[in-house]
Amino acid sequence: MNFSSPVRLGLAIASGIALPLSFPNYNLSLLAWVAVTFLILSALGARPRIAALCGFINGALFYPLAVPWIATVMKQYGSNISWLAAAGILGLMTLAGTAFPIVFALCVARLSKSSVSVACAIAPFLWVALEFARAHLPIIGFPWNLIGYAASGNLALVQICSLTGIYGLSAIIVAFNALLAWAIASPSSKNRLVAVGAVVVLIIIAAVGPHFVPQAKADQIAHLVQTNFAQEEIYPSNWMQLHAADMAQLESISIQAARQAPGVVIWPEVPAPFSLQDPRFAAIAGGIARNSSNDFLVGVVDWKLGPNRRWLASNSAVLLDPSGQRLFTYDKIHLVPFGEYVPLRKYLFFAHSLIDSIGDFTPGREYSVGQLPGGRFSVFICYEAIFPGEIRNFAGNGAQLLINISNDGWFGRSSAPAQHLMMARVRAVENRRWLLRDTNTGFTVDFDPYGRVVARLKPYIRGQLDAPYAFRSDRTLYVRFGNWFAWLCVLAALTLLVWGLKRHHSPS
């Protein structure tokens, strides 16, 4: 493409703005189907320096627009963190994130020197390979707002995830973008006809397809209790006394719901100083289980005696049986870096004022499966919901029901809770399991195995949701073989890249 540099930079800006607008709370999801087209067009035929700059612009706009809540959370809950420091943390994250669109734009630009068609053909494979890499970076892997999630609200399109995981949906979106870019960069009546045909097919699938998605039948009931506690950075020692009325209300809500319709009672990820090692909370938790005559699953800080007789804390979910006895414990495996632990703490001595207030949870090691009347379940906690390859381990270990407990109160009334919900929904489809999602402040939702919202509770209220569900034992292709499609994209991207470079350097 013989675009001038200003036009290329303008296309990169358009791409960097359009892509984040496709996610909550902007919710302009259709923009995802053209956002990458702008980036591809900006890179086709570009000099390496311009292509890299276009990729940088894309990333530099995407992160501050898509996840501005990161700075807000850091400022609100980080001791001694100024707005400047919080913005700096978001800036560092943005700087790291720009590496992926830079690599994407450079590869497209390089291959387009020999063939625009090859450059456009590699785009979906390369994009998925880079998303996959972004998800698996040591310590800082952050697969938040992958492009496929922009289409996850369509009940027909999202079903591909049961085969490929979220990466298949990303590939479809970027392939569509690449097709548009190819039709624009290589204009001919035939190319335009192909592009128009793809648009028509996509519209038909998106509009008609949802009517053919099966209806899932439920034969069980769970009670998802939304505790709705205000988020606090530090809890006073007399917190339980100060909130005695709140705890009594929640106890009443839980017991009455289970008595009216017998079923497991679920509380969210620990929203307050809840620990079964605290006799006051242990009495309340045991009372809920006994007085409701039902199982009670609750998020707690669980203390265990570790090596050298040191007490270690874990972010855990514990199931009590109707007699109040502990039946099951899951310790959160994937902890939030710089939130639930500080990686490489001893090397960050220069930032002690930022990290001293961050405690260290001990990560769990087992993808545990527990037993409820009628079937087996697993629970994952908060941030773990964004890692598809990890959640499939629960279904692979025999879980017939998935439960996600979370405390999204940390995010305030930002776009983060809606984005978190959007990603959790896809885990139901990938694993073909009912997903019960219980949160402190919202969004508390019941998803069927196809991603339908069966029931939901209004956010920012205290109450409980009657959540129908059923146990399922079938195993999807994604559960069986994991990220096979993402690895295939890595292989295809490398193969096309090598082939294209060899073709570029071969004698005429």
Element (H, E) at 457: strand 453-457
Distance of alpha carbon 487 from alpha carbon 392, whole angstroms:
16
Taking alpha carbons only, the member of 283, 277, 284 closest to residue 311 is 277
Instruction: Provide the token pair at 157.
Output: 């399109």
Using only C-alpha atoms, what is the Rg of the chain? 24
Helix axes 244-260, 279-292, angle to 10 degrees: 20
Distance of alpha carbon 398 from alpha carbon 269, whole angstroms:
23
Q: Considering 54, 382, 384, 489, which one is annotated as catalytic?
A: 382
- Is residue 384 among the annotated active site residues? no
Burial class for 138, CB neighbours closer than 10 Å (0-12, 13-18, 19+): exposed
Distance of alpha carbon 384 from alpha carbon 424, whole angstroms:
9
Sheet holding 435-439, edge to edge: 370-372, 375-381, 401-406, 435-439, 444-447, 453-457
Element (H, E) at 372: strand 370-372
Q: Considering 131, 269, 340, 430, which one is annotated as catalytic?
A: 269
Taking alpha carbons only, the member of 365, 351, 469, 393 closest to residue 165 is 393
Yes or no: say if 240 and 279 are a contact pair by the CB < 8 Å rule.
no
- Is residue 382 among the annotated active site residues? yes
Yes or no: say if 387 and 380 are a contact pair by the CB < 8 Å rule.
no
Distance of alpha carbon 467 from alpha carbon 288, whole angstroms:
18
- Is residue 304 among the annotated active site residues? no
Distance of alpha carbon 395 from alpha carbon 200, whole angstroms:
36
Q: Which residues are catalytic?
A: 269, 332, 382
